[in-house]
Amino acid sequence: MTAHLESQASEVIPARGVLDQDWRKLSRYGALLALGLVFVSLIGMPVKLDSRVVVEPYVSMGYLSLLWLPALLGYTVSAEKVLEGMASHARGAHELVAGAVVGLIGGAGLALLIWGLDTRDLSDPLVNWGDNLLGLLTFNETVGYGMLVWLGISAGLGLLGGLLHVLPRTAMRAGLTALIAVFLVSALESALDDISEGFRLEWLFEWLFEARGGLTPKGAVAVAVVAAGYVVFGRNRAKAVRQRYDAMPTVERTRANAALLVLTGVAIVVLPMFLGKLTNELLANVGLFLLLALGLNIVVGLAGILDLGYVAFFAVGGYTTAILTSPNSPGISPELPWLLALIVVIGMATLAGLFIGAPVIRMRGDYLAIVTLGFGEIIRLTVRSDWASGLTGGAQGITGIPGADILGVADVRGIDPQAVFYLVAFFCAIAIYVSWRLERSRLGRAWMAVREDESVAEAMGINTVNAKLMAFVVGAILASFSGAIFAAKVGSVFESSFKILVSIVILVVVIVGGMGRIAGVIAGAVVLIGVLGGPNQPGLLAEFSEFKLLIYGALLVWMMLKRPEGLIPNVRRSRELHQEEFLQDAWLRGQTDDDEEHNTTQGGATA
Amino acid sequence: MSGERLLTIDSLSVTFGGLNALNNLNFHVDEGEIVSVIGPNGAGKTTFFNMISGMVTPTAGDIVFRGESLLGYDPNQVTARGIARTFQNVRLFANMTILENVMVAQHCRTKQGIFGALFNTPGFRREEEDIREHAEKVLGFFGTRLIGYRLHQPASVLSYANRRRLEIARAMATKPTIILLDEPVAGMNPKESEELTGLIGKLRSEWGFTIVMIEHDMNVVRDVSDRVVVLDHGETIAQGSFEEVSTDPEVIEAYLGRPVEGAS
């Protein structure tokens, strides 16, 4: 949609001289890099991740956590936005030098840290200050050696970052893709192990990976070559398919969509059979959070109600199921089958939605967000309180939840993650269908109007209180489904599983993925929960779990700055966030109308 | 021309803090009338509209629509009873398409809920079809400007004049009895406002709407109004035909100020 922004500058002026640099900018970026490197070192990332090897025996994740920074900043220091019609300099040695200087300054920062590590002891406030870090940073050699090497590495990587501006587009893409592919394949090692076993591809896995972990050098090269090869040869073909799809008439496209949907459905049913326990467990967790995120997406994305206490409904679902199905439930213990309990869960979620919603919904914007935040905690604290512990078990929680017996066909419990995944996938499908249908209905339009301008929506005859309550209740029911499955999967519920962090993580999934768009929410759940992991659930990068919140936060800040509409954005939302650019594009296509265009006079007055 | 009494406003007052925005105002509209409300800036015209549409609650007095008091109703209930409005500072749903803007306005005239939407019932499909048909009919009232490829464009791409037109279309779509137009031609050039004047007449003759309009453009007021009501400092200072009002010394004073004592 921002076609004109990507097009090439119309005029290229000769490259700047090598020493004709913006030295202030360079030192700013250099200082930033130095800070970044020291920060990453001191939070313990290099040491903690050193055991996870990317390419045996050369690079570990620990070193990688430092290495990407100089390259990134070396690149961004000379990145500039070129608009159509603007003159831009030719790229050349100027960019290389800029990158290298930034890298050098950053490396100096790290060298200073090494010197400090050697001479002082600040391990009191900085727990990671110590010999482990020093040893890692000096490669177990002398301090001077380490300082020099880091200066060199950092400057070299900064230079490489600058080089990206100079290389031809395809070469740059191929190189970057190859690097990312090597990283990803290595990061997904445990999952690939699992998958390769299912497909009887152990020989490939053993060829690619070292037994102790990490890619073998030849494996890394193979992965890089395949990835680069895809960029050079396959990318255009993929693009052509995409273009053909875009050019399809509506009927044909509907058919293509249906075919894709069926294929995805088949894949979801068939694939888990080949996957091991570990991957299925991971998929089940992604599904649980996806279900929550889809529900929250209706509340936040469609109706525009910023609900920060969404975990309350997850808790309602979990606890209702636990009380009704577990024989260990301290209060009433009817030991209902799971499906029967689910009916009560729906009722309880509706009640909770109305109960929390009714007072909250009359507020707007920030006030509403804060009050929902409060209610989220109130529910959890109530569950934990002495007053309710006769029913909910207080801090001891409820254990011994028997699992979900689905009409005798399947018995879904935690030890069988594949069955859990199927159950979750079924409910996710329901949630997707519900969101999809409601968005295109009278109620969905009312939500949209409320999101745009609540007082006008009310003046246009929409009962905004009802519409918002409806969104709240639908969201509550979907969250309670997730809670019910969660209880059956884990076999026990504790109030600590329903902390505020869960609400935040779900919200981050929705925001990072793309608020208001189902595909976006799915992408967000896969990326965040699948790769990084949920609040208490490990993801593919299990080693990162200690830094999960840091990465979540950094990702969120970066998204808000660079791509506030999310990974796969909703059309309306990105239009709203990029109003200027959108109008410019519409103007370029001749689709805006300026006051008094020639056809105005032949309009309705004469009709 | 005029039929039964539709809207009666009886000694209506509202105070914001110590300010009397409206003071003991009496007003009425009969079916099929076009009434203009004029007055200098700050006279309380928009407050008057806000009060009728339920966005502001009066401190005293009564608003009676078809024998029923509107006091205590929310804006959406007022709209459901048949009073629609436009806004002085155009307030469209900018990121919704033109068609959706008009479709959503039919909310209070339709009733399909979650069940119909989820199961795509015949009733749901029929109602969606009706909503769409009515929306296109209403948009067609303004000629070709708001239909065709424009239907699926966001309202934000429209020109100022077209936004005003879309606002009127949105009010029409709520199937009202009375439409309150708040400065419908503000920001339009003379040709456009002349055209819209004609359309306002057609709103009555073709669609049967009763119209109350706030307007500063005296040409428009003269051309379409059956009756003109002049507000100043929250009070009615004159009413009658345009000719009567425009020669009223109190109205002239309100607009132009009082001559300095003894300066004649």
**CATH number of the domain that B117 lies in?**
3.40.50.300
pLDDT in tens, B215-241: 988 889 999 999 999 998 888 888 899
Contact between chains at B96 and A474 (C-beta distance less than 8 A): no
Of B120, B124, B157, which is closest to A591 when you measure between CB atoms? B157
Could you tell me if B53 lies within 8 Å of chain A, comparing CB atoms? yes
B136 located within any domain? yes
What are the structure tokens assigned to B82, written together? 């048949």
Secondary structure of residue A383 in the 3-state scheme: helix
Which residues 66-85 of chain B have a CB within 8 Å of chain A? 74-76, 79-80, 84-85
> What pLDDT score was predicted for residue B163?
92
DSSP code of residue A333: -
A526 located within any domain? no
What are the structure tokens assigned to B135, written together? 């929306």
Of A438, A459, A591, which is closest to B53 when you measure between CB atoms? A459
- The reply to whether ipTM tops 0.85 is yes
Which residues 139-168 of chain B have a CB within 8 Å of chain A? 141-145, 149, 153-154, 156-162
B263 located within any domain? no
Nearest residue of B to residue A598 by CA position? B145
- What pTM value is reported for the model? 0.86
Which residues 9-48 of chain B have a CB within 8 Å of chain A? none
Q: Are residues A473 and A355 in the same domain?
A: yes
Could you tell me if B110 lies within 8 Å of chain A, comparing CB atoms? yes
| Residues of chain A scoring pLDDT < 50 | 1-7, 9, 595-607
pLDDT band per the 50, 70, 90 thresholds, residue B123: very high
> What pLDDT score was predicted for residue A594?
56
pLDDT band per the 50, 70, 90 thresholds, residue B178: very high
B261 located within any domain? no
Q: Are residues A467 and A375 in the same domain?
A: yes
Which residues 185-244 of chain B have a CB within 8 Å of chain A? 188-189, 191-192, 194-195, 198-199
In A499-541, which residue ranges form alpha helices assigned H by DSSP? 500-513, 518-525
Chains A & B: contacts with CB separation below 8 Å: 159
The residue among A497, A521, A548 that closes a domain is A497
**Helix, strand, coil shares, percent, chain B, to 5:** 40, 25, 35
B264 located within any domain? no
Q: Is A28 exposed, middle or buried (0-12, 13-18, 19+ CB in 10 A)?
A: middle
CA angle, B113 then B117 then B119, to 5°: 120
CA distance A200 to A196: 6
- Shortest Cα–Cα distance, B172 to chain A (Å): 10
Amino acid sitting at position B152: H
CA distance A115 to A426: 57
Q: Which residues in chain B are closer than 8 Å to A603, comparing Cβ atoms?
A: 142-145, 195
Strands B210-214 and B227-232: unpaired
Angle between the N-to-C axes of helices A518-525 and A417-439, in degrees from 0 to 180, rounded to the nearest 10 = 150
Q: Which residues in chain A are closer than 8 Å to B188, comparing Cβ atoms?
A: 595
Domain that holds residue A125: 1-166
Q: Which residues in chain A are closer than 8 Å to B121, comparing Cβ atoms?
A: none
Contact between chains at A604 and B95 (C-beta distance less than 8 A): no
Looking at the structure of chain A, the number of domains it has is: 3
> Alpha-carbon Rg of chain B, whole angstroms?
20
> What pLDDT score was predicted for residue A343?
93
Q: Is B164 exposed, middle or buried (0-12, 13-18, 19+ CB in 10 A)?
A: buried
Q: Are residues A179 and A160 in the same domain?
A: no
- Shortest Cα–Cα distance, B11 to chain A (Å): 24
- Shortest Cα–Cα distance, B196 to chain A (Å): 7
Q: Which residues in chain B are closer than 8 Å to A604, comparing Cβ atoms?
A: 141-145, 195, 199
Domain that holds residue B108: 5-256
Contact between chains at A595 and B161 (C-beta distance less than 8 A): yes
For testing contact with chain A, the best of B51, B104, B146 (most A CBs within 10 A) = B104
**Mean pLDDT of chain B, nearest integer:** 89
Q: Are residues A399 and A435 in the same domain?
A: yes
- Whether B213 and B184 have beta carbons less than 8 Å apart is answered as yes
The residue among A166, A190, A210 that closes a domain is A166
Q: Which residues in chain B are closer than 8 Å to A464, comparing Cβ atoms?
A: 76
Q: Are residues A243 and A312 in the same domain?
A: no
Q: Are residues A34 and A146 in the same domain?
A: yes
Strands A53-55 and A410-412: unpaired
DSSP code of residue A395: G
B245 located within any domain? yes
Q: Are residues A470 and A384 in the same domain?
A: yes
A545 located within any domain? no
A94 located within any domain? yes
A552 located within any domain? no
Of B55, B117, B189, which is closest to A595 when you measure between CB atoms? B189
**Helix, strand, coil shares, percent, chain A, to 5:** 70, 5, 25
Could you tell me if B120 lies within 8 Å of chain A, comparing CB atoms? yes
- Whether B200 and B213 have beta carbons less than 8 Å apart is answered as yes
Of A444, A449, A595, which is closest to B159 when you measure between CB atoms? A595
Q: Are residues A294 and A373 in the same domain?
A: yes
> What pLDDT score was predicted for residue B261?
66
Q: Which residues in chain B are closer than 8 Å to A470, comparing Cβ atoms?
A: 114
Residue linked to tokens 């900064």? A158
Contact between chains at A449 and B84 (C-beta distance less than 8 A): no
Contact between chains at A600 and B110 (C-beta distance less than 8 A): no
> What pLDDT score was predicted for residue A602?
39
Strands B178-182 and B210-214: parallel
A563 located within any domain? no
Which has the higher per-residue pLDDT, A5 or B84? Answer: B84
B142 located within any domain? yes
Secondary structure of residue A304 in the 3-state scheme: coil
Contact between chains at A604 and B110 (C-beta distance less than 8 A): no
> What pLDDT score was predicted for residue A84?
65
Q: Are residues A196 and A301 in the same domain?
A: no
Q: Which residues in chain B are closer than 8 Å to A436, comparing Cβ atoms?
A: none
Contact between chains at B145 and A601 (C-beta distance less than 8 A): no
A515 located within any domain? no
For testing contact with chain A, the best of B86, B107, B189 (most A CBs within 10 A) = B107
For testing contact with chain A, the best of B114, B134, B177 (most A CBs within 10 A) = B114
Looking at the structure of chain B, the number of domains it has is: 1
Q: Are residues A218 and A154 in the same domain?
A: no
CA distance A125 to A122: 6
For testing contact with chain B, the best of A433, A440, A460 (most B CBs within 10 A) = A460
C-alpha count within 13 angstroms, C-beta hemisphere, residue A591: 16
Contact between chains at A437 and B108 (C-beta distance less than 8 A): no
Q: Are residues A198 and A249 in the same domain?
A: yes
The residue among A133, A166, A199 that closes a domain is A166
Of B76, B103, B149, which is closest to A461 when you measure between CB atoms? B76
Contact between chains at B55 and A455 (C-beta distance less than 8 A): yes
Q: Are residues A286 and A340 in the same domain?
A: yes
For testing contact with chain B, the best of A442, A456, A472 (most B CBs within 10 A) = A442
- Shortest Cα–Cα distance, A283 to chain B (Å): 27
Contact between chains at A445 and B100 (C-beta distance less than 8 A): yes
Contact between chains at A604 and B116 (C-beta distance less than 8 A): no
